[in-house]
Amino acid sequence: MTPLVFNTQIAKGKPSNSDCCPFCDIENLTGIIEKQNQFIWLENKYQTLQDTYLTLIIESNEHLGDIASYSYEYNRSLIRYAVDKWLKLSASKQYRSVAMFKNFGPLSGGSLSHPHLQIVGFKKADIYSEVYPENFIGLSIKKDQNFEVNMSLQPIMGYTEFNVIISNMDKLDLFADNIKDLVSFCMSEAFYQGRCKSYNLFFYYIDEKIICKLVPRFVTPPYYVGYRQSQRNSEANLERIKADFLNYS
């Protein structure tokens, strides 16, 4: 896969968490595509990646809000809204591929704490070219018709990657509820004694299925940095994490 080109000159102007939060200053936001209650879909002011269209969804007026703290009803509305915008941008046929993801915490790759999802259209790149069906197959935690939660046995990076999978849009609220439960679990004392402070959510539309991959973030393993070699927990550890999650939820 050809590397994405990052424009450092544009990135120099980006705000950080040490600045006033631009997402709290709603009256002065620019590039707004659509508003729905607290959800605001807008163009990213800093188009730092070449040959892309960067947009984001401000999730909440609360500067320190997050999926773990939202009510189930609010989170359902957020996921429905975000999935709709992501799929609509994909269906526009303006881009070779469209990605949706969320960064949370200092090790997630995000620059601003205010809760937001990102939707990015790639004009030339197939952002999914290094993602394979086996990355979403794993130790089943929950399974029903058109719905599954599992932990990857062949993760993209590792060590523990949770997948929430639906093959019917009627399951979208169940999809949202389980994303919230997993995020809450990973941010709690029940998961690695509370040492996880960051995560990413990645969304995929593959083989008529909508998938959310939750990746709890720690320091990136050197095997992945240097050799693109993922690692995973042993099956015994995955079974323990499964039991901890089921007890937590």
Do residues 38 and 24 lie in contact, with contact meaning Cβ atoms separated by under 8 Å?
no
The yes-or-no verdict on residue 13 having pLDDT over 80 is no
The yes-or-no verdict on residue 1 having pLDDT over 80 is no
- Specify whether 150 is located in the same domain as 86: no
The string of pLDDT tens digits covering residues 216-228 is 999 999 999 999 9
Does residue 241 lie within any of the structural domains? yes
> Which residue, among 165, 163, 172, 249, has the nearest Cα to 208 in the 3D structure?
165
The string of pLDDT tens digits covering residues 142-190 is 999 999 999 999 999 989 999 999 999 999 999 999 999 999 999 999 9
Does residue 7 lie within any of the structural domains? no
Does residue 11 lie within any of the structural domains? no
* Burial readout 48-86 (b: 16 or more C-beta within 10 A, e: otherwise): bbeebbebbbbbbeeeebbbbbbeeebbbbbbebbbebb
Query: CA 113 to CA 65: how far, in whole Å?
Result: 9
Does residue 39 lie within any of the structural domains? yes
> Which residue, among 217, 220, 230, 224, has the nearest Cα to 102 in the 3D structure?
217
Identify the CATH number of the domain in which residue 141 sits. Answer: 3.30.428
The pLDDT value recorded for residue 111 is 77
Last residue of a domain, one of 63, 91, 122: 122
The string of pLDDT tens digits covering residues 182-207 is 999 999 999 999 999 999 999 999 99
- Specify whether 179 is located in the same domain as 221: yes
Task: Give how many domains the chain has, as a whole number.
Answer: 2
Q: Can you give the residue range of the structural domain that contains 231?
A: 133-248
- Specify whether 50 is located in the same domain as 106: yes
